Amino acid sequence: MVHYLNRRLLACVLSLAVCIVPVLAAETSPQQDALRFAGMDTPATDAAHRTFQSRAGAAWAKYDKQVGRPLAAWARREVAYSGGGEVFYPFSGPDFLTVALVYPNAERYVLVAIQDARQPARPESMGVVQRQAFEKKLGIAWEKFGRLGFFRTEDLDDDQRDLASGIGPSTILMAFAARLGYEVTAVAPLSFNASKGDWETLPSDGKWKSVRLSLQKDGRKVTLDYLRLDLSDSGLRAAEPQQAWIGRMATKPTLLKAASHLLQHPSFTVLRDDLVANAPMVVQDETGLDYKELAKIGPVRLYGNFTQTYHLFKSTTQRALAAAYKAEKTKGELPFAFSYLKGADARSMQIVRRQAKT
């Protein structure tokens, strides 16, 4: 009788355990995650996710109409990038959209910024309240980018501090890849191997300071690297192997956008000098290289108009650039807002190509 009761008690305990042990969330693929972050997954069954999908879709439509499609058409005509190889985008934040449109068909995109990549968000593992907060904040991020077309440093830094939201560059990069029509086949953290002088993947449970997205589109494989690196002179000199690596990246076609005029300051001369000495091509707005430095690379083609810097930047003026615009009689058209200055009479871009030595 005691033995029978013990068995009944054990059965009850086991039954209770089954009831209270949470069901583990089903594993999702990187592409499924990317589609969800982009608001492109299957129609939502709950109101919060439907709202997020609507916000993300509307923000993308606004960006694509006002910036994305005009930028892509302009780049095909004016940048005329032949494709292949690597392209370099320092001070990028997680802005995969712009570099992919300016330099389509590259084999590897290298984005460098100061914020940690962070592990991609796992909304399927979140509680209801946390997931709703995550999707609300990500929806706001979509709307802000749709309006501005770039990332504000203070917003990215806020995401770094907000550990509960799960939003970081990795999550945003995956969303952008999905919106651009890429399949995300793998996502892995990266670390710099000093002995090899290059970046390599870590186990998935490693630190997520930098990240690599393996992408595929129309049968073409593409690598997207987001690298956390301090690009100031002091930051690069404190990490000598990375400084040498930056020197190699400066030999690639480069994009500079919404870069806060950092390369015009005396604390960013290492990267500035590398680009001036080696970059085969630079596409930038007024926040990139100072015009006097840009002109050392080769003839500069001016687009739009420029008279003065955005009001938040007091320590630089780009007077030489303003003089060049004033003197130029055949400036190219710029039918979209690109950076901080958005008015049709104030927005500007420049393209320079290094001339072959004779």
Q: Residue 158 — pLDDT band, cuts 50, 70, 90? A: low
pLDDT digits (tens, 9 = 90+) for 85-106: 999 999 999 999 999 999 999 9
Contact 95, 150 (CB under 8 A): yes
Q: How do 108-113 and 86-90 pair as beta strands?
A: parallel
Q: What is the pLDDT of residue 147?
A: 75
pLDDT of 22 > 90? The answer is: no
- 311: pLDDT confidence band, cut at 50, 70 and 90? confident
Give pLDDT, residue 14.
41
Q: Please, which residues bridge with residue 304 across strands?
A: 348
The backbone torsions φ and ψ at residue 282, rounded to the nearest 5 degrees and listed phi first, read: -130, 125
- Helix intervals (H) in 182-265: 233-237, 240-249
Q: Position of tokens 């651009």?
A: 180
- pLDDT for 203 equals 77
| Residues 28-51: tens digit of each pLDDT | 899 999 999 999 998 877 888 899
End-to-end CA distance of the chain: give it in Å, rounded: 102
- Which pLDDT band holds residue 160 (cuts at 50, 70, 90)? low
Convert 343-358 into a string of H (helix), E (strand) and C (coil). Answer: CCCCCEEEEEECCCCC
Per-residue pLDDT of 312-354, as tens digits, reads 777 678 999 999 999 999 999 999 988 887 888 889 999 999 9
Nearest Cα neighbor of 353 from 283, 259, 273 is 283
Amino acid at 298: G
Tokens for 48, please give them.
Answer: 């919060």
- With H, G, I as helix, E, B as strand and everything else as coil, classify residue 318: coil
**Residues contacting residue 314 through CB under 8 Å, at least 6 positions apart:** none
